[in-house]
Amino acid sequence: MALHLLCVGGEDHALRIPFLAALQNRGLRVSAAGTGAASAFAKTGIPYHQYQFDRFGVGFADRAAMGQLARLVKSARPDVIQTFDTKPNLFAPLALRGSVPVVRTINGMGWVFSSTELRALAFRPVYLAMQRLAACWTAATVFQNKADSSFFQRHRLLGKSSSVIIGSSGIDVGAFEAAQARTASPAELRAELGLGDAEIVLTVSRLTVQKGITTLLEAAKLVHEVRPNVRFLLVGPRESEGPFAVGQELIEAHAPYVIATGARSDIPALLGIADLFAFPTEYREGIPRVLLEAGLAGVPIVASRMPGCDDVVREDWNGKLVAPRDPRALAASILDLLQDSARAKTMGQRSINVVRKEFDLNVVADRYAELYTQLLSRSYSSGWRAAAHSSSEVQ
């Protein structure tokens, strides 16, 4: 009988549909649970269960979410549970307490370890305690970058669960290239967005302070003073980001050289008209998917020197890395690449090779499928609880 995997995430769980489909193609029976709408899963053949939690709060709502997950698992009866994102990574082990093996993927350290706000600093000991407790009922922990793996080991957050590094949730190279081929022409996109013949610096991100948008706006002003024909294209949601959102009035203060489009689904096409991709995040990412997309499109990248970003971008080889929260350094690196288009193009071509070799969806799916099979084999032979507390490393 096929291994039944239940994959649990948050509101953007639909972004993992290609990953889940790749696991299906490897013979797994896959279902999913998330807080986003079910519509994206409707045509996939992947059963989807919706549950609720508050991204920005703690308390009773979190207890309710754990209750929902416990009931869902009792009904669905999966063999293995895979979790992504901070709260699901905590909710599933704490709710199930060993009844089903849980694999948690640490796709970044989240707001708590990205922000310098007092409430974030105050919550860090709580986060550490909860992760340490969740580890007691976790079969394996997957990290997307080396920095996060080192952090968990240093703070003893793994318990005796096995651990492995698997970079990203993978990118479907074929699907990305197909999307590029069927999109609007560069001329049509430029006309739609009023870009004319401007040089384009593209950013795809939630429009929040933690994603470095205020730093980007300051850098955009500095770049515009030197190269007035540059346009900064900001693509991503703002209204849905609650207290973390950058104010609309702040963005509008940088018109006309900053254009915010809101969320869009034609990212491959937008990358096709970009001269450079800027990603000034202050957030502790896992492996930012947008960097993989930019790399696959051959667009040179300027990103923050942050965990996850520096797993994709190698300084002065396929892009530039700058300190977070430093608009002058960001502006200088953007200008450096815009002023040397031949070097920038070479960097972009190198990124294509990096993404194809290290982050292709098939490579990632093979490694996850192998991990699940190993866990289930151990579960049958000795009970998953003992397997989860084995000190051996998953290779």
Write out pLDDT tens, residues 235-268: 999 877 777 789 999 999 999 999 999 999 999 9
CATH for the 4-170+360-388 domain, from 3.20.20.105, 3.50.50.60, 2.30.110.10, 3.40.50.2000: 3.40.50.2000
Indicate the range of 101-115, 252-266, 293-307, 323-337 predicted with least confidence: 101-115
pLDDT for 388: 41
Above 90 in pLDDT, residue 219? yes
109-114 LR contacts (CB < 8 Å, sep 24+): 109/148, 109/151, 109/284, 109/307, 110/86, 110/283, 110/284, 111/210, 111/244, 111/283, 112/86, 113/284, 114/210, 114/282, 114/283, 114/284
Break the chain into its structural domains and give their ranges: 4-170+360-388, 174-358
**DSSP reduced 3-state for 80:** strand
Structure tokens at 162: 């096995």
Q: What is the mean pLDDT of residues 330-359?
A: 97
- Give the mean pLDDT of the chain: 91
Q: Edge to edge, what strands does the sheet with 102-106 contain? A: 48-50, 29-34, 4-8, 80-84, 102-106, 140-143, 162-165
Q: Edge to edge, what strands does the sheet with 199-204 contain? A: 258-262, 230-235, 199-204, 276-279, 301-304, 319-322
Write out pLDDT tens, residues 152-170: 999 999 988 899 999 998 9
Confidence of residue 63 (pLDDT cuts 50, 70, 90): confident
Above 70 in pLDDT, residue 221? yes
DSSP codes joined into one string, 191-227:
HHHT-TT-EEEEEES--BTTTTHHHHHHHHHHHHHH-
Indicate the range of 187-196, 259-268, 326-335, 385-394 predicted with least confidence: 385-394
174-358 in CATH: which number?
A: 3.40.50.2000
Write out pLDDT tens, residues 120-152: 899 899 999 999 999 999 999 999 999 999 999
Q: Which residue has the higher pLDDT, 47 or 43?
A: 47
Write out pLDDT tens, residues 69-111: 999 999 999 999 999 998 899 999 999 988 999 999 999 887 7
Q: Which residue has the higher pLDDT, 285 or 293?
A: 293
Q: Please determine whether the domains at 4-170+360-388 and 174-358 fall in the same fold group of CATH.
A: yes
pTM of the model: 0.85
pLDDT for 394: 37
